[in-house]
């Protein structure tokens, strides 16, 4: 089960003044799953309006209804049959490898079922997890640095204009205020129930 407080803690670091993201990458896909253009930029180079748009996209995934729209899934023993190796590599290189990103876009294009054109946004963030006392007060110091990727997939409502995210994930899971590389949190909107085929590709079932 996902702890709602853990997700709220992360979203507090997703504001223009307290931004935990260093990079955003993505692709614009046609209805057949082929990309019509990609981008990969340092988050700090975005303008104010674009920064807010991207932050809203990322927060929509992890600020959704916990354990309803956002659920916890394990990769199981056979990680080679899942996206785990690819996601680990992308996390470790901070989304800086365009060839690996192209591989992910291709996999999504082959397996994600969309009714029209859509976009894929990927965010790389780092959160210096502060120490918490037993009474839940904040202490000085850090427990660990949590490096993570958020994916948000949304329909396009106009030329390069994303709508509300319909699918996405947070990897690794953020459990008990710590990184859990054995699990991933997968999101789907109320209007777009979880796509079983695509989810099975992600977790390797």
Read off the DSSP letter of residue 100.
H
Counting Cβ atoms within 10 Å, is residue 18 exposed (0-12), middle (13-18) or buried (19+)? Answer: exposed
Residue that wins the pLDDT comparison between 183 and 134: 183
At residue 195, does pLDDT exceed 80?
no
The gap between the terminal CA atoms of the chain, to the nearest Å, is: 20
pLDDT value of position 135:
52
Q: If you average pLDDT over residues 185-194, what whole number do you get?
A: 80
* 3-state DSSP assignment of residue 39: strand
pLDDT value of position 77:
77
pLDDT value of position 193:
61
Q: Please name which of 185, 188, 174 lies closest in space to residue 13, comparing C-alpha atoms.
A: 174
Reduced to 3 DSSP states, what percent helix, strand and coil does the chain have, rounded to the nearest 5?
30, 40, 30
CB atoms closer than 10 angstroms to residue 105: 21
Q: Give residue-wise pLDDT tens across range 78-117.
A: 788 899 999 999 999 999 999 999 999 999 999 999 889 9
Q: Please name which of 185, 130, 204, 177 lies closest in space to residue 8, comparing C-alpha atoms.
A: 177
Q: Is the distance from CB of 124 to CB of 151 less than 8 angstroms?
A: no
């Amino acid at each position: 089960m996902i702890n709602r407080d853990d997700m709220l803690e992360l979203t507090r670091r997703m504001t223009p003044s307290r931004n935990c993201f260093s990079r955003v990458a993505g692709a614009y896909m046609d209805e057949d799953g082929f990309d019509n253009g990609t981008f990969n930029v340092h988050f700090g180079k975005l303008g104010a309006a674009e920064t807010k748009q991207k932050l809203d996209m990322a927060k929509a995934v992890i600020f959704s209804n916990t354990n309803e729209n956002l659920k916890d899934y394990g990769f199981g023993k056979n990680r080679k049959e899942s996206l785990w190796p690819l996601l680990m590599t992308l996390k470790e290189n901070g989304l800086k490898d365009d060839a690996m990103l192209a591989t992910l876009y291709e996999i999504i294009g082959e397996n994600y079922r969309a009714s029209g054109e859509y976009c894929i946004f990927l965010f790389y963030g780092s959160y210096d997890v502060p120490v918490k006392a037993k009474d839940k007060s904040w202490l000085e110091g850090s427990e660990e640095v949590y490096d993570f990727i958020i994916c948000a997939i949304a329909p396009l409502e106009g030329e390069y204009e994303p709508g509300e995210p319909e699918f996405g994930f947070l990897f690794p899971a953020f459990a008990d205020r710590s990184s859990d590389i054995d699990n991933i949190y997968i999101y789907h909107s109320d209007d777009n129930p979880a796509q079983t085929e695509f989810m099975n590709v992600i977790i390797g079932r």
